[in-house]
């Protein structure tokens, strides 16, 4: 694996070139995405549409940039193409959609739908006796959506042991801390009460993530990945204001130096 901070540097350069934002929420998911693409999911860059590939639904759509960087490293496309990120007509839009280069399984942007869509894919696999697993990446702020809990109630009733939800639990959302809006600190207990196998894990520990994601479960599984929003960049870590801010040139230089 490239050092996580090298992936962060690549992602930040890509966003900064387009004067984009969503840098901090992209920083918290690097290890999660790396673990999925390199250690857990059955995917083949040479056959990206293979019918029995594992499915990944990136419901936290504003982590598109990190998803592209990790997928490029995995070999799904030439990393040089990332230079077109967030430009007109690009296959690398700043929010994940089905037309993007990663061949996303769903379009995001309107959060809260990911688990519901993932249930549909997992149910197809069950009913057709197909081997693929379904993974859904969501944010802890997203868990404030009522549609999330409707889906959470349904999945155990369908005995979907091929469904895994990963929560990027970084304790911040777009304009405030999670707790200021609605306390989500007990996500593990909430999923467990609804019949899920729920596991807490350090979301920046690749080995721990792999173990949790691969652990068998009798039904759907939720991996609550505790992360730091803005991870690796001291001025962004746990700072609400960096959800939507772009980097100035001096800030970019300082940020890239700090990630060496």
* Mean pLDDT (whole number) for 149-176: 97
CB 13 within 8 A of CB 257: no
Closest CA to 146 of 121, 120, 115: 115
For the segment 146-163, the average pLDDT, to the nearest whole number, is 98
Residue 150 has pLDDT above 70, yes or no: yes
Instruction: Give the model confidence (pLDDT) of 222-246 as tens digits.
Output: 999 999 999 999 999 999 999 999 9
The pTM for the full model equals 0.96
pLDDT score at 3: 85
Q: Could you read off the pLDDT of 54-85 as tens digits, one per residue?
A: 999 999 989 999 999 999 999 999 999 999 99
Chain centroid, CA 250 distance in Å: 29
DSSP structure class, residue 38 = I
List the domain boundaries for the chain.
Answer: 4-258
Query: First and final CA of the chain: distance in angstroms?
Result: 16
CATH fold of the domain at 4-258: Rossmann fold (3.40.50)
Average pLDDT over residues 177-202: 95
pLDDT in tens, 162-175: 999 999 999 999 88
Mark residue 93 as left, alpha or beta (left: phi above 0; alpha: psi -120 to 50; beta: remaining).
Answer: beta
């Amino acid at each position: 694996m490239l050092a996580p901070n090298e992936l962060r540097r690549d992602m930040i350069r890509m966003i900064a070139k387009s004067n984009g934002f969503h840098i901090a929420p992209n920083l918290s998911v690097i290890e999660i995405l790396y673990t999925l693409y390199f250690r857990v999911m059955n995917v083949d860059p040479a056959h990206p549409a293979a019918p029995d590939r594992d499915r990944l639904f990136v419901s936290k759509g504003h982590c598109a940039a990190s998803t592209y960087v990790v997928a490029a490293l995995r070999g799904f496309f030439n990393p040089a193409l990332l230079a077109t990120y967030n430009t007109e007509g690009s296959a690398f839009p700043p929010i994940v959609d089905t037309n993007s280069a990663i061949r996303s399984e769903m379009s995001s942007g309107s959060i809260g739908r990911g688990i519901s869509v993932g249930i549909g894919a997992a149910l197809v696999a069950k009913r057709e006796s197909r081997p693929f697993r379904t993974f859904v990446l969501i944010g802890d702020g997203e868990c404030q959506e009522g549609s999330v809990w409707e889906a959470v109630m349904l999945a155990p009733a369908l005995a979907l042991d091929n469904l895994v939800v990963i929560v990027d639990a970084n304790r911040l959302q777009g304009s405030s801390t999670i707790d200021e809006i609605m306390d989500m600190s007990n996500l593990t207990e909430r999923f467990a009460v609804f019949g899920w196998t729920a596991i807490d894990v350090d979301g920046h520990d690749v080995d721990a993530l792999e173990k949790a994601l691969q652990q068998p479960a009798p039904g759907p599984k939720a991996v609550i990945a505790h992360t730091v929003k803005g991870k690796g960049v001291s001025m962004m870590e746990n700072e609400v204001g960096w959800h939507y801010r772009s980097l100035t040139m001096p800030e970019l230089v300082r940020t890239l130096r700090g990630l060496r």
